[in-house]
Chain A
Amino acid sequence: MTDRNDGWHVGIDTGGTYTDLVGVRGSEQRISKVPSTPPDFEKGVLDSIEAAGIPVSEIGIISHGTTVATNAVITNRGSPTALLTTRGFRDVLELRRHNRGEPYDIYWDPPAPLVVRRNRFEISERLDYAGDVITPLAEEEVRLAVRTAARRGIGTFAISFLHSYVNDAHERRAAEIVAEELPGAFVSTSGALLREPPEFERTSTTVVNAYLAPVISDYLRSLETQLRQAGFAGRLYVMHSGGGLLTLESASRFPARLLTSGPAAGAKAAEGVAAVASTGAVGSVKATEVLAAAEGLDEVISLDIGGTSADIAVVRGGKASLVHEFSPQFGQPVRFPAVDLITIGAGGGSLAWVDAGRLPHVGPQSAGANPGPAACGLGGTQATLTDANLIAGRLPVDVNLAGGVHLDIEAARQAVGDFASELGLAMEEAALGIIDITNNNMARSIRVVTVERGLDPRDYTLVPFGGAGPLMAAELSDILGIRQIVIPVAPGVTSGLGCLYVDIVHDTSRAHIVALSEADRAVLQSIFDDLAEGMRETLADEGVAQDRQRLEHSIDLRYLGQVRALNIPLRDGLVPERFQNEYREAFFNEYERQFHSVAIDIPVEVAALRVRGVRVSERPHIPFGGGAPSFTPRIRRVLTGDGAVDAKVVQRASLPVGTSLGGPLVLTQEDSTTWVPPDWQAEVDKLGNLMLTRGEDR
């Protein structure tokens, strides 16, 4: 595996609007931010390297987060796909779980299934719940289906048979037949992707995977070719939704794993920023060491606020929380581990509006990049969050922002004034209102990823980034009771940085359903051993040396008779002698924490064992340029909920390490602006991160 000293280690995150890059080599660092170039996203990637001034031939590793997969699903630009199902069940994909995205709206329609009904083929075959064959596979029917699909110009196949999570022999045989009939076709079988029920979720995962495969492999091949042509001789990895890296080969086989590739990079950045900040360590630090040394800063909420949306994720114990399912659109679940994040329609361009009951709202509609906020002078006339921040004095009017944008306060006043008069409020009141409503919407979403998971946001450090994150962070923290904020050195390109903070990660699991009291220690141990052995092979296949491999064991437990299980992390892969007591105890603790009630008289059941394999990488650090020795602040009037205050306006880059200043402060930099309210204190840590802490409670 290439060491970072061999060349530049470059993280590139391609978002819908911008492509961010952070590159590090030894003590050198470069950043760049360029427009993304849909639909040919690879151009933006090469642009970002050029803009950063990094010679392509000197790059050792590229870690790439990308929105290509999500984009393909949402814009229906995947590959025409056929689905083979058990006879009698081709409609599983369309029946979904028969719920609705908007339960109360007669005029709401679910998104159309990714495979239309005419291309869903039923095959005679059937297994029972134990995986025993009831009806053998009708091979001729498979051949016929493939020929029909091929005549319709379809070269991509998803195969999902009932109970294939226990026995996928029929699926594998059907895949062979597809290959015989139509060499070169892409085939995705459900049992190879996901060894768990139920049928709809597994089928949906398989269909999304197949649907994306040609698009993703074309993109990755094209990207690699263009990089090679430009002289790239290093290794290229892609970020998956769970915040790990995949080789191009794995990414091409499991493209559904890339659905939240971009936002996952953001969450990993928060993980890394907090971990490094907590130790104050300078230079390259091994992630494991950082985590081991971290105190207090390994519980983090990451908040990436861009132009149209905000991504929120939670880091627990130094790791971004994961969920087992993610849906790019309603009714399209994909059951791969994904960083537990939610995306909400709240960003700088979010529009303020008044409903029929004369109540104010902000978002989810956005002015986007075009026409953009009224203040940008590109034709927008409706008030946005950016306009409100400008009026509140929290955005600099006289500074050139990224891309040479200059803000026009008169246009903002006009737009916010219109909104205010609809409500019968003064303009300044309305501007604060827009900020307040946005903060509360975000607070609600943060509660979804914290309190709904049994976590208290007050125990967390907020890591805000993206253009507007540092602007909103302090007041949002006031609402949530958060006392500490860490703002990275370059908030605008933090997702690019996140791509550097990523390990190669694989997950494997086996369902093993048995009462805990009847579980056999030797059996559990042998399952863990099997899983671990398979995992070591997987890691070795990807060139991960033995000493860089880390395995993480966990067990899914539930009460006997309960449907869903809790995942309980274990210290290691050794099943202790008194495992029944230890596991039961850990389960009760976690249960009470999450569900507010616990019963010790209901038997506990084992549901599954899991092993995660990690290639531990080093976490490069962006060296901080250091500040000018002195600075002369300007003063400007800033509106707050408690009236107007005079705030110092300071260039962030001019603050030396160790500087400590009390709010009210507006700290400016090219890619972001930080607002420090009166009762907050700002301090520059050794690495150049900005630490905000809240004073005594009001």
Chain B
Amino acid sequence: MNHTTRSGAQKAGSGWVGSNSLRESDPILFQVLNSAFSSITDEMSALTMRAAFSLVVSEGGDYSGTISNRRGELVASGVRDLAAHLGTIPFTVQGTHEWIRTDPETYFRPGDVVLINDPYIGGTHHNDMRAIMPVYLDGRLAAYIQNSMHWTDIGGHVPGTFDPNSRSSYGEGLAVPPIHVVREGVIQTEVVDLLLRNVRMAETARGDLLTSIGAVRLGERRMQALARRYGPEVIISAMDELISYSEDLLREEFRRLPDGLIEVEALMDKDPGSDSDDPLVAHMSLTIEGDRATMDFSRSSGPAKGAMNSSRAVTISAVVVTMKMIYPQIPMNQGVFRAIDFVLPEGLLLSAEFPSPVSGCAAGVYPAVGDLILKSFIQLAPDRSMAGPTGLLNIVMGGEDPRPGFGGEFVMYLWLEGGWGGRPAMKDNATAMTTFATTAMNQPVELQERLYPVRFDCYRLEPDSGGAGWSRGGLGVTRKWMLTHADGVLSDLGDGEKFGPWGYAGGCDARPNRFVYAPGTDEEINVGMFRTNLPIRKGRMMDCFQPGGGGYGPALTRRVEHVLEDLRDGYVTAEGARRDYGVVVRFDEGSDSFVLDEVATAELRDGHEEGPEFPDKP
């Protein structure tokens, strides 16, 4: 920690923070401001979504916009923002404070916008480019507005940049430590030129950069308007108190949990940079003691040689975002961080140090840490948690697009959705959901076929892919596609080919990931999770399955009526019903329905009673 920074923050604080009591003295104004902050971030989201150039942002929703206080602590974020970014924001602004080695009021002038994507200064991976803008109220630095967007490409030798086989940060494209892209309202064109010279699809990047700058400016203007109405002091203390409000709410939830120690672990397939097939381990010891929760990750794996590492910021982001999903009523801000004591020594897989490669943080550590939280809370507060959700596989294809009128290179992303886990206190979980805790959206087939030289053969739910259980996991999804006009290359980075999403309390694990090139031909290859620039020939099918969610409760106790319904809709096949649920049926053409073989079913179920009806939402 840098001393100048600390005294700067101190100075800013001493003049402004009044009695910590707006929440008590005027709960109504407090609530009004809470809603005003959210309104500002929602407005920034709307702008970003509408103005963005890349499909990843405008249709995929891979962006976020936030307000932080003058210390860089998260105050508010948009409802639709990419959850995975949010927990990293405080690290970004605070990391910037440390990096600049000067008073923030000297460094950040009104009207400035600073860019940063450095994973070791509180970032995620290089593709997530952040814009930070200071908010000055009455001439004093009072808050920061931040906008993150996933850039389609940030350089390097792989179209889309993601390279599972890079061995260091230097192989992961352009790193940007804090740099002014706008100084007191004036765009620094040399900086823009430097950035755009290094990336593919530079015009898309230019448009996205423009959008980021517009979004933070909007946030800054709205904050100033709010301060004009209520006075800067009120705004400053409301931001601080909102943080303690969330902390109080979460501590109250911890107080209600039984004291004790829980040990959980989550496995990732392997280190793509190592010859060993041993899994990578995320481990957590969770201690609940009164209103304190201590999460100790020190028994997790050491750093990976390949790109499966994660910065400390991403690991903590996974924790706070998953906590928010367990307790959705708590406003997402720094208070959630504060309520938890983290033990996370530096230099682990989960707290990588420069220059460990981190491209795969969103596919490996982020979901694995989310699993640690779900696995511990399904024991502590079953009606708040669920069995294992689907993970993440990022696929990037690139090449030349020879179609008339399209000319030039293309970079196309694909990420896949799957199922969420069965739930202790409710019916089967939803199918075809965004990867857990990311809030992204899919990219429509029709738009991808227009923009890139590809054609999809199918995009559908995969029968029998939901982890079997009393409460079934949501189904996984299969996509098949091919390049139509020219050869290209494909890189992918994911996890979950070895370990499918976990079942709980007798529920079954869901089927793991599968990704095959040219299936059923001489050229068939198992693509797996870690390819760099795999050559793809036009007209060859790619067949990719993303898992469903794990099941909850013994599958043999699933009520027969629900199995029959699943059969009718093809979520479960007759073979799957027999194998997974011990339900034997035959299809009766005449009545267009499945007829239960009660004797065979009783025999297979072997004395297992049907479980209870699904309760209503807890």
Give the interface of A toward B (CB within 8 A): 87-92, 94-100, 102-107, 109-110, 116-118, 128-129, 134, 148, 151-152, 162-163, 165, 197-200, 355-361, 423, 433, 436-437, 440-441, 444, 447-448, 451-452, 559-564, 594-599, 602
Contacts and interface: CB of A to CB of B under 8 A. Distances in A.
B61 A95 contact: no
Contacts of A97: 59, 441-442, 444
A423 B25 CA distance: 11
Nearest to B220: A596
16 contacts: A88-B460, A91-B461, A97-B59, A99-B80, A103-B83, A106-B386, A107-B426, A151-B592, A356-B329, A357-B245, A357-B249, A437-B31, A452-B42, A561-B204, A563-B58, A597-B210
A103 B325 CA distance: 8
A595 B432 contact: no
A89 B456 CA distance: 10
A128 B481 CA distance: 13
B55 interface: yes
Contact of A198 (B207, B431, B445): B445
B52 A88 contact: no
Contacts of B248: 357
Contact of B35 (A118, A129, A441): A441
Interface in B159-174: none
B560 interface: no
Contacts of B23: 359
Nearest to A592: B214
B326 A444 contact: no
Given A106-B326, A117-B570, A356 B447 contact: no
A562 B52 contact: yes
A118 B423 contact: no
Given A106-B423, A563-B55, A563-B58, A444 B39 contact: yes
Contact of B52 (A197, A358, A563): A563
Contacts of A423: 27
A454 to B, nearest CB: 9
A104 B83 contact: yes
B530 interface: no
Nearest to A117: B569
Contacts of B569: 116-118
Interface in B561-613: 568-571, 592
A677 B510 CA distance: 63
A602 B207 contact: yes
A104 B324 contact: yes
B455 A128 contact: yes
Interface stretch (B43-51, B310-318, B497-505): B43-51
B88 interface: no
A674 B241 CA distance: 37
Contacts of A596: 47, 213-215, 217-218, 221
A89 B445 contact: yes
Contacts, number: 219
Contacts of B592: 148, 151-152
Contacts of A559: 53, 207
B430 interface: yes
Given A88-B456, A107-B617, A118-B570, 14 more contacts: A88-B458, A88-B480, A98-B434, A98-B442, A103-B80, A106-B384, A106-B423, A109-B430, A128-B484, A198-B59, A199-B445, A452-B47, A594-B50, A596-B215
Contacts of B50: 564, 594-595
B53 A561 contact: yes
Main secondary structure of the interface of A (DSSP, over half): loop
B407 interface: no
A359 B460 contact: no
Q: From A91, A197, A563, name the one whose CB has the most chain B CB atoms within 10 angstroms.
A: A563
B31 A107 contact: no
A451 B43 contact: yes
A564 B58 contact: yes
Nearest to A560: B203
Contacts of A163: 446, 449
Nearest to B31: A359
A109 B432 CA distance: 12
A96 B431 CA distance: 10
A598 B206 CA distance: 11
Interface of B: 23, 27-28, 30-32, 35-36, 38-39, 42-43, 46-47, 49-55, 58-59, 61, 79-80, 83, 201, 203-204, 206-207, 210-211, 213-215, 217-218, 221-222, 245, 248-249, 252, 321, 324-326, 328-329, 332, 384-386, 417, 420, 423, 425-427, 429-434, 439-442, 444-447, 449-450, 455-461, 477, 480, 484, 568-571, 592, 617-618
Contact of A98 (B321, B417, B450): B417
Contacts of B459: 88-89, 91-92, 95
Q: Which residue of A104, A162, A599 has the most chain B CB atoms within 10 A of its CB atom?
A: A104
A200 B28 CA distance: 42
Interface hub of B36, B49, B53, B455 (most chain A Cβ within 10 A) = B53
Pick from A200, A448, A561 the residue with the most CB of B within 10 Å. Answer: A561
A186 B243 CA distance: 56
A151 B588 CA distance: 14
A597 B213 contact: yes
Contact of A356 (B213, B252, B423): B252
A105 B446 contact: no
Contacts of B434: 98-100
A88 B351 CA distance: 42
A564 B42 CA distance: 18
Given A104-B83, A198-B446, A563 B43 contact: no
Contacts of B218: 596
Nearest to B24: A424
Q: Which 9 A-B pairs have the closest CB atoms?
A: A88-B458, A198-B444, A597-B214, A563-B58, A197-B446, A117-B569, A596-B214, A98-B417, A105-B328
B325 A94 contact: no
Nearest to B438: A103
Contacts of A433: 27-28
Given A117-B569, A599-B206, A100 B439 contact: yes
B31 A162 contact: no
Contacts of A128: 449, 455, 484
A355 B248 CA distance: 13
A94 B249 CA distance: 36
Contacts of A90: 460
Contacts of B49: 564
Nearest to A357: B249
Nearest to B421: A106
Contacts of B43: 447-448, 451-452
A102 B420 CA distance: 14
Contacts of A103: 79-80, 83, 439
A92 B417 CA distance: 13
Given A94-B461, A106-B325, A162 B445 contact: yes
A74 B78 CA distance: 27
A91 B460 contact: yes
Contacts of B386: 106
Nearest to B253: A356
Contacts of B461: 91, 94-95, 117
B325 A105 contact: yes
A107 B53 contact: no
A448 B42 contact: yes
Nearest to B452: A129
Nearest to B81: A103
A132 B425 CA distance: 50
A128 B426 CA distance: 42
A595 B433 contact: no
Contacts of A98: 417, 432-434, 440-442
A502 B203 CA distance: 44
Indicate the member of A102, A106, A361 with the most B CB atoms within 10 Å. A106
Nearest to A116: B569
Contacts of A134: 455
Contacts of B47: 452, 594-596
A88 B223 CA distance: 48
